[in-house]
Structure 1
Amino acid sequence: MTLAPAYLFDNTGSHAAEQHRCLAAWLDPITVERLVGAGVRPGMDCLDIGTGAGSIAVWLADRVGPAGRVLATDLVPLPLPERPNLDVRRHDIVHDELPDGGFDLIHARLVLSHLPEREAVLRRLLTALRPGGVLHLLEFDAEYAPVLLAPSARAKELFERFQRAKLQAFRERGSHQGWGRECAAALRRAGFAGVEAVPYVTALTPGSPGLQLQIHNTRHLREPLLRAGLTEDELAELREILVHPDFRACSNLVHTVQGRRP
């Protein structure tokens, strides 16, 4: 998804498809579990913000059925699998209008942390829900990603430098990669009721979607990583480390947060 010209992950770039694939493989099971728990059912009207490749929008469309509808939005929408109750539109959640009281459920994954206006956006989303409607967010605490096992001290140090370089690149663009641990409190300040927060952590092991995403980021984020001080040789070395059978790390903390409009 593309949130602003300076956003690091661009739907129009050559790396976008692999970025979306890794995120969906890792995060869709978590998202679906929480949305089922939130009571997504036939007939609901849903909004999926920053839909990207649309895996959750399509799941929602199938879940709410022909009596429901799903509006999937992004700054640069991609072609999504067709569903008769799925509408895909270009939309800027910061500046473009939303219908007041129009949705039973709003879903946004890894969107608001990239927006300096995130708390104002939360207040807009509150008014876009019907009374009793639910907002579901998934956000990272990307400042948490400890190495558990590495083939060498050098490997551990290089992975930690890689994580710091990514955080620096995001901060330079106004992104708050620790916001996952703060968004429940932000929902309460915005006026949401019944706020619930459930954190998840997974193991980054060779072949896992979360670790495949890290390998992909060494290429997708090549330019900002080089500007942050890593070298081409170090990125190549890092890719070898991330497929080594002795490498293990914790994923970023994945925070799923829900609140409803009173």
Structure 2
Amino acid sequence: MADATDAVDAVDANERAPAAAEPEAAGRPGPTGYLFDNDSDHAVEQHDCLAAAYDAATTQALARTGAGPGWRCLEVGGGGGSVGRWLARRVAPQGAVVVTDIKPERIPREPGMRVVRHDVVRERLPESAFDLVHARLVLMHLPERDAVLARLLRTLRPGGWLQLDELDASHAPGLAMPDAAGARLYARFQRAKLRALTASGADPAWGAHAAAALRRAGFADVDPRPHVSVWCAGSPGARLQAHHTRHLRGALLEAGMTEEELERVRRLLAHPDFLACSPAFYTVQARRR
């Protein structure tokens, strides 16, 4: 495993100081266009909400690959590190996991897990190095996603697995609201989020197209599985939506919402009569031939 990690064209986060950067307004794109900057005061809550909402589906799918002791794994865009830590425990003691992120300072370590500062768009990866590569909610934010897929294909060993977890956020309707005004407000909030994501360079619907993209990139055995749930007040999904009103505040205001509307959205998400459909969350698996 040492040869594979040493080949990554980046250095361990502990060995390199983060580059200086100007502070960015909450919810406005950073240098990469990404709305959910790890430097934000909201990043820890973001990672906690994502883990609560999606870790179960992610890890159940990863378990289907057979990942176990001795596997070499790459986690791209590790975020809060919950999936990387799960993988590290899964492949211990002989295996190892490399977790990458552009800003990896918030990722906790786990035995057998190396955290690396790495930009998957601009920096190389080792060839034929990993048994499993995973990325969650990363490629939808990258206009260069086709080039990234080619890079991920090459870093897998023959027969190795790729799992992408991506959203189709274009359809997340309210199902039952306290009143008609609440229904209109929730629909307006969802439209504003789509405008904000699109303005940042993301493709909010890319999850629905990920399987076709993997086939075009040359992957085999492409298996997309959608997951949809109902969100109610207090659910992980409702908590994540409330978080977005804070983390994406600047972008949502630019997309046409007001501070008063964002406060009303938070109250709506906590109302006992709130019910909404989640966006489709796709776990897409494929293999290198």
Smaller-chain TM-score bracket? over 0.9
Equivalent of 2:276 in 231, 240, 249: 249
Distance in 2, Cα, partners of 1:94 & 1:232: 35
Matched ranges for 1:19-38 at <5 A: 19-38=46-65
Residue 225 (structure 1) shift: 0.9
Equivalent residue number for residue 187 of structure 2:
160
Per-residue deviation, 1:78? 2.5
- Please tell me whether the aligned partners of residues 3 and 114 of structure 1 are also in contact (alpha carbons under 8 angstroms): no
CA contact 2:80–2:108 (8 Å) conserved in 1? no
**Match in the other structure for 1:90:** 117
Alignment partner of 1:182: what SS? helix
Partner of 1:111: 138
Q: Return the offset for 1:3.
A: 8.3
> SS at 2:204's partner residue?
coil
Tell me what 1:101 maps to: 128
CA distance in 2: counterparts of 1:3 and 1:67, whole angstroms: 38
Q: What is the CA–CA distance in structure 2 between the aligned matches of 1:60 and 1:259, rounded to whole Å?
A: 18
Alignment of 1:165-244 (within 5 A): 165-244=192-271
Contact 1:194 1:260 in 2 (8 A): yes
Match of 1:135 in 2: 162
| Deviation digits for residues 174-211 of structure 1 (CA, Å, limit 9, x no counterpart) | 10010000000000000000000100011111111111
Q: Is the 8 A contact 2:226 2:282 kept in 1?
A: yes
- Indicate yes or no: 2:101 matched with 1:40: no
Counterpart residue identity of residue 186, structure 2? F
Shift of 1:53: 0.8
Q: Distance in 1 between matches of 2:223 and 2:57?
A: 15
Partner of 2:101: 74
* Cα distance in 1 between the residues matched to 2:166 and 2:125: 22
Separation in structure 2 between the aligned mates of residue 9 and residue 120 of structure 1, nearest angstrom: 22
User: Which amino acid counterpart does residue 115 of structure 2 have in structure 1?
Assistant: V
Q: Take 2:156 and 2:180, find their aligned partners in 1: how far apart are those partners? A: 50
Shift of 1:4: 4.5
Task: Show structure 2 runs of 5+ residues with no match.
Answer: 1-28
- Runs (4+) off by over 4 Å: none
* Aligned partner of residue 260 in structure 2, secondary structure: helix
| Cα distance change, pair 162–79 in 1 and its aligned pair in 2 (3 A) | closer
Aligned to 1:124: 151
Report the Cα offset of residue 234 of structure 1.
0.9
User: What is the aligned length?
Assistant: 261
- Post-superposition offset of 1:84: 2.9
The aligned counterpart of 2:285 is 258
What percentage of residue pairs aligned between the two structures are identical? 54
